[in-house]
Chain A
Amino acid sequence: DTGVSQDPRHKITKRGQNVTFRCDPISEHNRLYWYRQTLGQGPEFLTYFQNEAQLEKSRLLSDRFSAERPKGSFSTLEIQRTEQGDSAMYLCASSLLSTGQGNYGYTFGSGTRLTVV
C-alpha cells in the first residue's frame, strides 16, 4: 500500500454522460474525503465517509452527484448528466482518526481530471 490511488487519472466525456471515479484509500485509514479543485482555487470539500457511513455532504454536491463507500474501503464518486461546469480535478484523501490524538492531516491521491466537452 503506497498511498491513495485514484482511477482514472483523466476522463474526457461528452456533456450529458455519466462518469464514475474510484478512490482506494490507505488501507488502515477510516476516513475518506472527496474534494473538487478548479483552476486557481484550492480544494473544495464535497463529502466524506467514516468507514462506510457518509457523514457530511457539501452544498456543492448537487443531486447529480453520488458517492459510496460500500465496505468501508474504496469509494466511488458518480456524476450523472455531466455539465461543462463539472470540469475539474476531483481529489480523494484519506485519514486516520485516532481517539485522543485528533486528526493529523490527510493523504491525498493524484486526482482524476474530468473534462466535459
Chain B
Amino acid sequence: AQRVTQPEKLLSVFKGAPVELKCNYSYSGSPELFWYVQYSRQRLQLLLRHISRESIKGFTADLNKGETSFHLKKPFAQEEDSAMYYCALRSGGSYIPTFGRGTSLIVHP
C-alpha cells in the first residue's frame, strides 16, 4: 500500500528564513511525487512534480529514493508563501494520487 507522511502539521518561520517541508512516502515501486498548495480561500493547485525537476516560486523538491523522501525547500521564505502544502504520491500502476495530511506554513513578517 502507498502512504504519504507529512510529519509537521504546522511550520512557522520568519520572512527570509529557509523553509523545508518534509514529505516521506512508502511505496515499493517507482512513484511519481507532487506538491500541491492551497492558499487562503483558494482551491488546491499543483505546485510542482518531481519528474519535471522545475523550480516554481522559488520552491524545489528532490526525490530521494534511498530515504523515500520528497522534501519541499525554499531558501528564502516570503509572506505570500503562507499556505497549506500537500505532498502527493502516484504509483506507476495507478492514476490516483494519495495525499498527505498537509503542512500549514506560516511566514511571519
| Chain A interface residues (CB < 8 Å from chain B) | 3-4, 31, 33, 40-45, 48, 56, 91, 95, 97, 102-111
Q: Which of B13-21, B58-66, B68-76, B92-100 contacts A (4 or more CB under 8 A)?
A: B92-100
Find chain B residues with CB under 8 A from A33 CB: 96
Q: How far is the CA of A109 from the CA of B42 in the complex (A)?
A: 9
- Evaluate whether A91 and B32 lie within 8 angstroms (CB atoms) in the complex, with A40-B9, A42-B99, A45-B96 already known: no
Nearest CB of A to B43, in Å: 5
- Evaluate whether A104 and B43 lie within 8 angstroms (CB atoms) in the complex, with A48-B96, A56-B96 already known: no
Minimal Cβ-Cβ distance residue in A for B88: A42
Q: Are B101 and A111 within 8 A (Cβ)? A: no
What does the 1/0 interface line of B1-12 toward A look like (CB < 8 Å)? 000101001000
Q: Are B95 and A31 within 8 A (Cβ)? A: yes
- Interface of chain A: mostly helix, strand, loop or mixed: loop
Q: Which of A31, A48, A95, A106 has the most C-beta atoms of chain B within 10 angstroms of its own C-beta?
A: A106
Nearest CB of A to B76, in Å: 26
Q: How far is the CA of A104 from the CA of B49 in the complex (A)?
A: 8
| Chain B interface residues (CB < 8 Å from chain A) | 4, 6, 9, 32, 34, 43-46, 49, 51, 86, 88, 90, 95-102
The answer, among B45, B49, B51, for a CB contact under 8 Å with A108, is B45
Q: Are A43 and B99 within 8 A (Cβ)? A: yes
The answer, among B32, B51, B86, B96, for a CB contact under 8 Å with A42, is B86
- Evaluate whether A48 and B95 lie within 8 angstroms (CB atoms) in the complex, with A105-B46, A110-B43 already known: yes
- Evaluate whether A106 and B46 lie within 8 angstroms (CB atoms) in the complex, with A43-B86, A97-B95 already known: yes
Q: How far is the CA of A110 from the CA of B41 in the complex (A)?
A: 9
Q: How far is the CA of A43 from the CA of B43 in the complex (A)?
A: 12
Find chain A residues with CB under 8 A from B46 CB: 105-107
Q: How far is the CA of A111 from the CA of B45 in the complex (A)?
A: 12
Nearest CB of B to A33, in Å: 7
Q: Are A41 and B101 within 8 A (Cβ)? A: yes
